[in-house]
Homo-oligomer: A and B are copies of this chain.
């Protein structure tokens, strides 16, 4: 039996999914500039990947271009938005209203991409009752009751590491499907919950390690830098 039409694709590399928002940003840029058509090589150049990789990434999800022509910008934009779920609404709660929590709450672009911030939580009584990015800050002890009334898709953890696991447990129990974790601590979550870590501390340390190992040697210092040469012959 053929798989149902709307079956979601399997076995897509995480790295490919992470590149989709980059392609999306490039296409938004083209769209704003009134560009209607783009080839894989031009779009790849903008995104900092090879044309081959761009086509491969897109092909995990479908065929959105036309041979001999390229991609229609508005059409490809719409398809990527469909994949990323930008037409959906994602309900988000943010726990920890320090600098990082604020950065998320006040970044207005998220709202345009379908993210709805339903609540923010902190232990600091001076913050409770205030608004950050237009969201009311509640006390953390209200997190579980709040989630039972306002289920969230995504939880952002921007707390000290000592409490991060407890917060994650509350979120998981409340049915959160994804957690963005800024605490520099390994969180244990069930495998049906997606976890994304952003760790400023390890990022800065590994950057310093790479940067200060003296002049360019081998693979270590040549990633992510400058424009990828057009290595593909592609004829």
| A126 on interface, CB distance cutoff 8 Å | no
* Contact partners of A192 in chain B: CB under 8 A: 215-216, 221
* Contact partners of A222 in chain B: CB under 8 A: 191
Interface residues of A in 205-235 (CB under 8 A from B): 205-227
Q: Which of A14, A106, A189, A216 has the most CB of B within 10 A?
A: A14
| A119 on interface, CB distance cutoff 8 Å | no
Minimum CB–CB distance for A29 against chain B, Å: 10
Q: A191-B226, A204-B154 are in contact. Are A10 and B99 (CB under 8 A)?
A: no
* Contact partners of A153 in chain B: CB under 8 A: 208, 211-212
Residue from B46, B84, B223, B224 within 8 A of A209 (CB atoms): B84
How does the 8 Å CB contact mask read for A40-67 relative to B, with 1 for contact and 0 for none?
Answer: 0000001110000000000000000000
